[in-house]
Structure 1
Amino acid sequence: MRWYRSLYFRIALGVVGLLAAMLVVQAMLFTWAVSQSGRSLPGQSPARLGSNVALDLANVLERDAQADLQRYVHDQYAQYTHPFFVLLADGRVITSGSSSFPEPLLRMAREQLARRVERSARGDRPEWWRFDGPDGPRPPRPEPGDRPEFFGRGGFERGPGGVPFVRPAPIVVGGRLAGLVVVPPQAPFGFLLGRFAPMLALVAGGVLIVGTIVTSALIFGPARRRLRAVESAARRLGSGDLSARAPDRGGDEIAAVASAFNAMAADLSARAEALSASDRARRQLLADVSHELTTPVTAMRGYLETLAMTELALDEATRSRYLGIISDETNRLERLIGDLLELARLEGSSRTFAQDRVRVAELFDRVAARHEPACRAAGVAISASIEPGADTVIGDRDRLEQALQNLAANAIRF
């Protein structure tokens, strides 16, 4: 049998496929839950990330006003699990983690930047950010002219279309606004899936390997050994070992198959024993039939040889008696042959015996007369003694005579 047709392979393939599907679904749910909760940054919030990035970029620009912020952001923040973008005062957009952001988010960021640049050009001194909070920078109070719908709880802004995002963090260099850092409150699902895919694939692969090994050791291994035991017992039974039995411990389907096999083996063993007993009975029957046929033939031969002796002078009464015995033995032989034919036709059915009143003296006389030549040749004599009240019996005359004739023949012969 080819390995891909094995029942174990098909079951294992189904189990591994189901386990892989469960892992994929769990990974997707995990990624979705992280994207919806906004908890993709361990130890910090999106607002704190924005303020930290703004401070970092402000320090870079103070050291070198011509610094390549695109390369710097890519080198420093490429491994972050939360995307953001930097909107500079000259209109450039530097992205990190994702190349595309929702258009409403970009439009609101440009609106915020234009309004703040306008205030700075008028000479207003806005309160940009104060870093006196226990969890990082605090968002400023609404400035004059800001629309209330842009301010929400926890520093989140919500545009006219209802799109929420974290309040932009300003990049201040030398007292001037150089740009804004905008961090979406939730990381996109596709972005998180791409970031977590290698780790999730590694974990899923390990779980699949360990699960396959554990499943093979705890489920398929014992079942395979038990089925092999049933197969071995079947092969032994087929080779003639009627004592072969399969282990049927347990209450599962394999135990049910083993129990059915053991019942079949016990039935076959009983039938084989019955056939053996029947064969022995047939052999014994052949021996008995041979003996039954030999007894009347021997008696007839003895009387015929006596009648053929010319030197022996027999009176007419003795000759008639001998001829009568020969006739009786011939009839008895005919009945035996008839019984054998009837037995062959009605084998296995019950036979009824005649119930007649039989005189015991007549039975004894016929047995003594039949075996007279054999007794004379063996130098023995047959005597009969009947107790008072036992002169008649109830039974089958022919079968009683047959039993007595066989008993006398065996006594004379042995």
Structure 2
Amino acid sequence: MSRSRAWLGSLYWRIALACLGLLAAGLLIQMVVVVATLSRPSGLRARVTAQLLAKTVAADLQEALEFDPAASVRAVLARHLDNPLPVYFVTVEGNVTGADVDVPGPEAGRVAALAAEHAGGLDRTDLPVGVAAVEVLGQPEGHVVVLPRRPGWAVLRELGPWPLGGAALSAIAIAALLAWLAFAPAHRRLQALEGAATRLGQGDLTARAPEDGADEISRVSRAFNQTADALAAQIQRVTSEQDVRRQLLADVSHELHTPLTTIRGYIETLRMTDLPLSEADRARYLAIVDDEAVRLERLIGDVLDLAKMEAGGQGLKKEVVPIEALWTRLSDRYGPAATAAGVRLVFDAPMFDVDADAGRLEQAISNLVGNAIRFTPVGGEVALSAHALLTGGVRIDVSDTGVGLSAEDQARVFDRFYKQDASRSRTGTGLGLSIVRAIAEAHGGEATVRSTPGHGSTFSVTIPA
């Protein structure tokens, strides 16, 4: 768009021009009113002025007719055209003559009526008119009538073009200055809002409009900023989700690649007919393949569970779960594994219940117990305890006497595929604690960890009422 077209299309300039147009129209109307008022004077002064003019014209006309009875009345009246008041001569027969043009019928009737009233002895002191008799050698010839009405051009000529033009230009200049003072700040704020919208459209998520003031522009700016904040948050959320998906895909691909590579390698070895293998070696290779297949199955199951929990695609089936019954199932499941690992498994004796999804809660606590047994050395202890909260919820703690976690490990321990010690976590998938956190958050609670390196760790799952 060219600069001139942009100037004409600007709302700011259109409003300013509209204001100046309204001012010009107001000045024009005011001038018309003033001219109309001045062209029809009233009062004693106007009547005296008209009467003096009528007597002056009557004297001139009387002198001209006495000198030459055939003199032109119109020529005598024309001598007084420089006077703004209209002058007429009415004969005794009622004929009306003007100074330069024929007198219209209604105007002639009015003039003749005034002359007749004066001839009849009626003096109209209520009207600012002048009437004077014209007698030639003692004989009445008619009357000179001067009306108070003046043409508009005469009024304008009396006022003068320079005062009128100066007043009009001064008023327009003052109006333009006031308009600029009133609209310039608004124009700057509109430009700032336009600039912010342009930058936001170009991808600058930090672009914001100034919210100064309490008018419509400031309200539009606030609405724009709220929209920009929501858009930036949405884009940030989508970007974060995309980063998480990409990272999850990369992690899953890596974790799947390891067991698949192992399985494929041993299968290819078993298929080599020219390679002599003892039955013991063959059985050992098949056992490794079976272990990797089980690990692969567990990894896929954990990934699916985590995806369902984080996407909210699998609703919770809450019910009243007795803590004592939960302890019993966990003892039956992990008691033999703890005994085999040389770890003592201890449960407290709670006498209350928790409102939760029984299956998901057991899955979360099972992941914590399995991790605790795996990382606790021989002779250590894994203790489970439940605590009723003042808010009505329940906190379940799983404590161990293992190696503990550093501050860095505690900050990342719930991340997907994070392993404190890869060499010691070969049998894990790296998703167990992520599933624990997802289950806790699905219940409206949280999963936390407290640990001191060398003195064990305590993992907690809080389930609100």
Do the aligned partners of residues 107 and 284 (structure 1) sit closer, same or farther apart at CA in structure 2, a change above 3 Å counting? closer
Cα RMSD for the two superposed structures: 5.2
Q: Give, in angstroms, the shift of residue 8 of structure 1.
A: 4.9
Q: Give, in angstroms, the shift of residue 384 of structure 1.
A: 6.5
Larger CA deviation: 263-272 vs 165-174: 165-174
CA contact (8 A) 1:292 1:406 kept: no
Q: Which of 241, 249, 271 is residue 234 of structure 2 equivalent to? A: 271
* 1:9-408 superposed matches below 5 A: 11=15, 14-15=18-19, 18-34=22-38, 38=42, 44-55=45-56, 58=59, 65-66=67-68, 70-71=74-75, 73-80=77-84, 82-87=85-90, 93-95=96-98, 99-100=103-104, 101-110=107-116, 112=118, 150-151=122-123, 155-156=125-126, 166=129, 168-170=131-133, 180-184=143-147, 186-187=148-149, 192-193=151-152, 195-196=154-155, 206=169, 209-210=172-173, 213-214=176-177, 217-297=180-260, 323-341=286-304, 348-349=311-312, 356-357=330-331, 358-359=333-334, 362=337, 385-390=377-382, 406-408=419-421
CA contact (8 A) 1:70 1:94 kept: yes
Q: Distance in 1 between matches of 2:302 and 2:160?
A: 90
Q: Give, in angstroms, the shift of residue 319 of structure 1.
A: 7.0
CA contact (8 A) 1:360 1:390 kept: no
Q: Give, in angstroms, the shift of residue 331 of structure 1.
A: 1.5
Q: Distance in 1 between matches of 2:305 and 2:235?
A: 27
Q: Give, in angstroms, the shift of residue 273 of structure 1.
A: 1.6
Q: Give, in angstroms, the shift of residue 242 of structure 1.
A: 0.9
CA contact (8 A) 2:134 2:144 kept: yes
CA contact (8 A) 2:89 2:98 kept: yes
The percentage of counterpart residues that share the same residue type is 33
Q: Give, in angstroms, the shift of residue 57 of structure 1.
A: 5.5
In structure 2, give the amino acid aligned to 1:51: L
Do the aligned partners of residues 47 and 90 (structure 1) sit closer, same or farther apart at CA in structure 2, a change above 3 Å counting? farther
CA contact (8 A) 1:74 1:96 kept: yes
2:98 partner SS: strand
Q: Which has the higher contact order (CA 8 A, sep 6+)?
A: 1
In structure 1, give the amino acid aligned to 2:48: A
Q: Give, in angstroms, the shift of residue 102 of structure 1.
A: 4.2
In structure 1, give the amino acid aligned to 2:42: G
CA contact (8 A) 2:259 2:292 kept: yes
Q: Give, in angstroms, the shift of residue 165 of structure 1.
A: 6.5
Do the aligned partners of residues 361 and 408 (structure 1) sit closer, same or farther apart at CA in structure 2, a change above 3 Å counting? farther
Give the unaligned 5+ runs of structure 2.
317-325, 342-373, 386-396, 399-412, 427-465
Query: 1:230-282: per-residue Cα shift (whole Å, max 9, x none)?
Result: 22211111111111112222222222222221111111111222223223322
In structure 1, give the amino acid aligned to 2:56: L
Do the aligned partners of residues 385 and 319 (structure 1) sit closer, same or farther apart at CA in structure 2, a change above 3 Å counting? farther
Query: 1:198-226: per-residue Cα shift (whole Å, max 9, x none)?
Result: 87996596478547734652455444433
Aligned residues: 338
Do the aligned partners of residues 255 and 412 (structure 1) sit closer, same or farther apart at CA in structure 2, a change above 3 Å counting? closer
In structure 1, give the amino acid aligned to 2:334: R
Query: 1:18-63: per-residue Cα shift (whole Å, max 9, x none)?
Result: 4455445444544554566526xxx932233322442365368659
TM-score by length of 2: 0.54
In structure 1, give the amino acid aligned to 2:47: P
Give the equivalent residue in structure 2 for 1:127.
none
2:211 partner SS: coil
1:332 partner SS: helix
Q: Distance in 2 between matches of 1:259 and 1:384?
A: 57
Do the aligned partners of residues 84 and 60 (structure 1) sit closer, same or farther apart at CA in structure 2, a change above 3 Å counting? closer
Q: Which has the larger radius of gyration?
A: 1
Give the unaligned 5+ runs of structure 1.
114-145, 157-163, 367-381
Do the aligned partners of residues 19 and 54 (structure 1) sit closer, same or farther apart at CA in structure 2, a change above 3 Å counting? same
CA contact (8 A) 1:234 1:244 kept: yes
